[in-house]
Amino acid sequence: METKKRNNIIVTTTFLLLISCIVFLAYSDLKSSLKGSSKGNLIGKGIRSAGPVKMKTGLNNRFYYENKQVYLNIDLKADKVEAKRERTPLNLAVVIDRSGSMDEKNKLTYVKKAVENIIDNLDEGDYVSLVAYNDEVTVLQKTTQVESRYLLKEKVNKLNAAGFTNLSGGMLEGFDQVSRSYKKGYVNRVLLLSDGLANRGITDRFKLAEKVRDINKEGGIVISTFGVGNDFNEDLMTDLAEYGKGNYYYIRDAEQIPDIFAHELSGVRMLVAQNTKVTVRFPDNYLSLNRVFGYPYEVHGDEVTIDFKDVFSEQNKTVLLKFNVIRPVSSRLEFDCELRYNDVTNNFLTMSETEHCSINAAVSKAEYEKGYDEKVQQSVALFETNDLMEQALREADLGNYEKAKEKMQTGRAYMDEQMSNIAPSPEMKRQVETMDRYDKDLKSAETKTEEERKEMQKSGKYDNYNTRKNN
């Protein structure tokens, strides 16, 4: 009996010592994590604050005054990834327009050359699928890991051009192929090329954009679009890239196709973050969201969410939120900005960073005028003039050239005023060049041929897009 009692005491004591050791080790690990974090805190289970993507926020003024707008600027900057790190694996669907118009000006020939270059630059661990479309959709190669490059090229080389343009069918098949081999940590992307208008399948621009937005939101697959020549719908192709979190390219000359495809892929081999989102909480009892410049967004009550998805080495992303003051108030207004993403460089650990901004009511207009933040105001000047040029481009699309010229004059006058008060940033100067170039074209728009007007509009929109995206 005594022996049994002694054994029970030993077991109990051993168990308590074991629990104590576990608690001590957990505490030590927590303490070490707190000390090692650049922000000095562990935010939650598997969530740390320091990572390869940094966020910087700022308001355009330390104060708000009467009915003046409030602007909140958010910059994301990714660290440079060491060159010795392994390249990010790819999971690509290349979707090729083979409608009849692709036979003109050797477009299909250059596309074949571009796809061959893509195949040559794939690694053995990469996945690739090949889809072609005209009236019908043909899967040339179901998603597979790269083995025989020769066989892949042979399938592309057999393509010929004929028929109409079922863009939606080709695009959706591309998404389906990527989803079949979707992998976390891969660049999961559709590359969609077209030279014409969608005239089969889903043709409505907004329905197609909604489809892409939903697929991207649910499955995380990105799409980049490539428009060739002057007959494709540039607004549609831009929307698909915007809502699909990819890039849009206007290819004026078919000879550019291989280089532009190469440019698209060169930047995605060093992925640093996935599922990147910024959530802004604002005082909606005093402010209403006017708009968000730079990226698509969602609003739910007092929260605005901008979903950036993938972020690559040394990439910069800027977004500007514009608010209206909806009622008089004398108290401080608070903003909370949270950045979250999965750190690809650190086992997909969920990273989180929060910044707080606040502004006070100005007692006078003079105090308000002294409160500007020059860097944020540079961003305001850029995005506001960029938006005015977008309005001018839309008027020109409708043939309202005089209204377009008025919008351009308003934008140029606004930028001139801003540049007289603040030092112009390189981005502001680039926007001025973009506006001046389009304004010059606009003055002779009515004497241009239809083909020249198409190129004028596509070039103007593409230049404005690239300035907005800092490409």
- Per residue in 288-324, pLDDT (tens digit) is 999 999 999 999 999 999 999 999 999 999 999 999 9
pLDDT for res 382:
97
Note whether 435 and 322 are same-domain residues: no
At 113 the three-state DSSP class reads helix
Note whether 346 and 379 are same-domain residues: no
Closest CA to 89 of 262, 220, 270: 270
pTM score, whole prediction: 0.84
Q: Which residue, 223, 241, 269, sits at the end of a domain?
A: 269
What are the b/e assignments for 94-124, b being 16+ CB within 10 Å?
bbbbbbebbeeeebbbbbbbbbbebbeebee
Does any domain span residue 398? yes
Q: Which residue, 249, 269, 289, sits at the end of a domain?
A: 269
Does any domain span residue 31? no
Q: What tens digit of pLDDT does each residue of 102-133 get?
A: 988 888 998 888 899 889 889 888 999 999 99
Note whether 176 and 227 are same-domain residues: yes
Q: Which residue, 369, 403, 433, sits at the end of a domain?
A: 369
Which sign does the torsion angle of CA 199, 202, 206, 212 carry?
negative
Does any domain span residue 416? yes
Number of domains, the chain: 3
Residue 24 has pLDDT above 90, yes or no: no
Note whether 105 and 56 are same-domain residues: no
Note whether 236 and 308 are same-domain residues: no
Please report the DSSP string for 204-230 in residue order: -HHHHHHHHHHHHHHH--EEEEEEETT
Q: What is the CATH number of the domain that holds 73?
A: 2.60.40.1510
pLDDT for res 84:
58
Does any domain span residue 22? no
| CA–CA separation, 6 and 2 (whole Å) | 6
Q: What residue numbers bound the domain in which 419 lies?
A: 374-469
Amino acid at 114: A
Note whether 361 and 403 are same-domain residues: no
Residue 12 has pLDDT above 70, yes or no: no
pLDDT for res 49:
56
Note whether 136 and 237 are same-domain residues: yes
Average pLDDT over residues 67-94: 88
Residue 436 has pLDDT above 60, yes or no: yes
Note whether 63 and 103 are same-domain residues: no
Does any domain span residue 162? yes
| Residue 237 pLDDT class (50, 70, 90 cuts) | very high
